[in-house]
Chain A
C-alpha cells in the first residue's frame, strides 16, 4: 500500500467521525499550547533579564571589595576576615588605567533631608557624572553631577522627581539650599520621572558627588564600582590590570572581586534555558495525558470499524498494512491537533504580551518544534496498542460484526 493511499484512507476516517476526531484534536491542541505558553514564560523572563543587563552594556566590569570565590569553597583565609574597603583613591587609580575608559563608583545609604522645615527620608547615591549617561537619565531641570575629580568635594545634589516635588512643591528647586544630615547642599538638577533603574529607585533618590557622599556618611569606602574598558577586546587585560593596580595599593593583597558582566549574563542565560526546558517538560505531561486519550479513541475506532478491518483482511490486507492504517490515522490526528495547538498557544501568548507588555513572552522555536514532534510521537506510541489489536482481529468474527 502506498503512503498517499494509507494517508487518504486515514483522512476519510477522520472526517467520517467528526466528534471523536475533534475531541482528540482539542486534547492535543491544549497539550501543545500549554507547552508553548509555559516555555514563553521562561523565555520572556530570560529576555527581560537579558535586556536589563544589556541596557548597561555587556562591556562592563563590576568591582566589589572582598574576594568572592566562584565555584569553590571559601578559603580559610577569607573566612572571618573583614574585607579591606575600596577607597576613592583606589577608584582614581583604576580610572587612570590605560585599559579603562570610564568608571562609575557607588556609595549608597539613606538620610533625612530638610528644606524649610519639611523633612523627608531619602535614598542617597554617591557617584559621578557617568551615572546619568550609563542609565539613560533624562533631566527635568538643570543638569546632572558635574565633571570633577573623584576626590573633589562639591556640595551639590541632584534630586529624583518625587523628592523634588514633595520638598519644593511649586517652587523651582534649582539653586536652593537644603540640608542633608548636618550639611548644606545646593540643588543643581532634577532627574525626570523614571521609576526603578537597575537597583536604584531614581524618583526617591538624591545623587551626590562621591567625595561629598563619603563625607556625609563619614566613610572612606566605595561599595561598588563599574568600569568600562576601552573596547571589548581588552576586557581581560582590563580585569587583570584592575586587580594588579589595587593589589599594589593594598600591600600585595588580592582582596577585590572583578566580575565580567558578559560572563554573568551567560550564566543567567543558561539558568533560564534550564528553567524554560523544565517548564516545557512539565507542560508536555499534558501531552502524555492526551496520549492516553488517543489510545482510548483509537480503541473506539477499532471497534467502530471492526467490519471494515475484517473486509480489508478478506481482501488480502496484511497485518502490517492494518497497523499502518491506524498509526497513520493517529499520526495525522495528532499532527493536526498539534498545529491547532500552535495556533492556540501563539494566540494566548499574543494576549499575554498585550496584558504585560513589559515582558516579551515568546515561545522559543525549538519548543514549538519539540511540542509538535512530541505530540506526533505520543500519537504513534499510544496508537500502537489499538493498531495491533485491529491487526490481530479474527477476520471471520470481524466480518460477522458488521
Chain B
C-alpha cells in the first residue's frame, strides 16, 4: 500500500538546516497496524505529514497504491487525500459552528455529494462510532471522547484505505482514550490500514509494526 524510498525532508529553522527525514525507507501493507514513536523533534510528525500527502518530500519516492505521489501538485494531492486517506487529529479539528452530523458530512460536501446521500452515510458512521443519539449536538456540547469519535466518523466516511492518527488519545482521559483506541483497532480489523503517532509505549506495543523515529532516521520492527 505504502512504499517510501529514500525520502528526505529538510527544514530551515532560523539559520539552521534541520533534516527531519534522512533517507527514510518504509513498506506498509494494506491492513497494517503501524505505530510511530519517538521523542519530539525526531521527525515523526513530518513522516506522518508526508504519508498524509500534506507535505511533499525534497527527494525520494513515495508510492501510494503503486503510483508515485512525491511530486504532485497541491490540487492533485488534495484529490488523493480525499479518495484514499482519513485523518484523526489530537485536537479533533471539528468545526464548532456545525453539528456532529454536519461535521461528518463535510468531506462528502466537499466532494459534491447530494444532501440526502450525505446525511444517510453520516448517520451510519455516527451509529458505527456509537453516537447515534448525539448527531444534532455541536462539539462544545460533547465530551472529549465523543468529539474524537465524531472526528473518527468523519475520517472514515469517504471509506479511505488509509487512516492516519496523530496522537488520537493525547487529549483524552484514559477511559475515553482506550475507547477511542478500541474503535480505531476495530476499524483496522475490518481492513483499513492504520498508522498512528503516539507517545504512549503501551499503545505502541499493541501495533504489529513499530516504527521508531530518532533524529530523522527510521527503524522498523515488525512483530512476527
Contacts and interface: CB of A to CB of B under 8 A. Distances in A.
A147 interface: no
Interface string B77-114: 01101110001010101011110000000110111101
A402 B107 contact: no
A395 B78 CA distance: 10
Interface stretch (A9-17, A23-31, A189-197, A333-341): A9-17
Interface string A202-223: 0000000000000000000000
Interface size range on B against A: 20 to 34
Contacts of A317: 78, 110
> What 10 pairs between A and B have smallest CB-CB spacing?
A316-B82, A16-B97, A315-B107, A316-B81, A311-B93, A5-B109, A395-B54, A318-B75, A316-B78, A317-B110
A315 B107 CA distance: 6
Given A2-B109, A313-B54, A315-B106, 7 more contacts: A12-B97, A16-B96, A307-B93, A311-B106, A314-B93, A321-B110, A399-B54
Contacts of B49: 396
B127 interface: no
Contact of B81 (A308, A315, A321, A399): A315
A315 B82 contact: yes
Nearest to B45: A396
Interface residues of A, number: 27
Given A12-B98, A319-B75, A314 B54 contact: yes
B52 A314 contact: yes
A12 B97 CA distance: 7
A281 to B, nearest CB: 39
Nearest to B89: A399
A317 B115 CA distance: 17
14 contacts: A1-B110, A9-B109, A308-B95, A312-B106, A314-B81, A315-B87, A315-B110, A316-B111, A317-B78, A320-B75, A321-B110, A396-B55, A399-B89, A402-B93
B59 to A, nearest CB: 19
Contacts of A1: 109-112
User: Chain A at the B interface: mostly helix, strand, loop or mixed?
Assistant: helix
B74 interface: yes
Contact of A313 (B78, B95, B114, B115): B78
Nearest to A2: B112
A13 B78 contact: no
A308 to B, nearest CB: 6
Contacts of B112: 1-2
Nearest to A6: B109
A315 B103 CA distance: 11
B211 to A, nearest CB: 19
Identify the interface centre among A9, A12, A314, A319: most chain B CB within 10 Å of its CB: A314
Contacts of B52: 314
Contacts of A313: 54, 78
Interface of A: 1-2, 4-5, 9, 12-13, 15-16, 307-308, 310-321, 395-396, 399, 402
A316 B79 contact: yes
Nearest to A317: B110
Nearest to B109: A5
Contacts of A308: 95
A319 B75 CA distance: 7
B165 to A, nearest CB: 13
Contacts of A310: 93
Contacts of B107: 315-316
A13 B102 CA distance: 14
Chain A CB within 10 Å, residue with most, of B75, B98, B110, B112: B110
Nearest to A397: B54
Contacts of A316: 78-79, 81-83, 107, 110-111, 158
Contact of A311 (B55, B79, B95): B95
Contacts of A396: 49, 54-55
A315 B112 CA distance: 13
Contacts of B106: 311-312, 315
A319 B154 CA distance: 21
Nearest to A320: B75
Interface in B17-59: 49, 52, 54-55
Interface centre among B75, B81, B109 (most CB of A within 10 A): B109
A15 B96 CA distance: 12
A317 B107 CA distance: 8
A205 to B, nearest CB: 73
Nearest to A13: B97
A1 B154 CA distance: 17
B153 to A, nearest CB: 13
Contacts of A2: 109, 112, 114
Contacts of B83: 316
Nearest to A308: B95
Given A2-B112, A315-B106, A402 B97 contact: no
Contacts of A9: 109
A16 B139 CA distance: 14
Nearest to B81: A316
A316 B75 CA distance: 8
A318 B109 contact: no
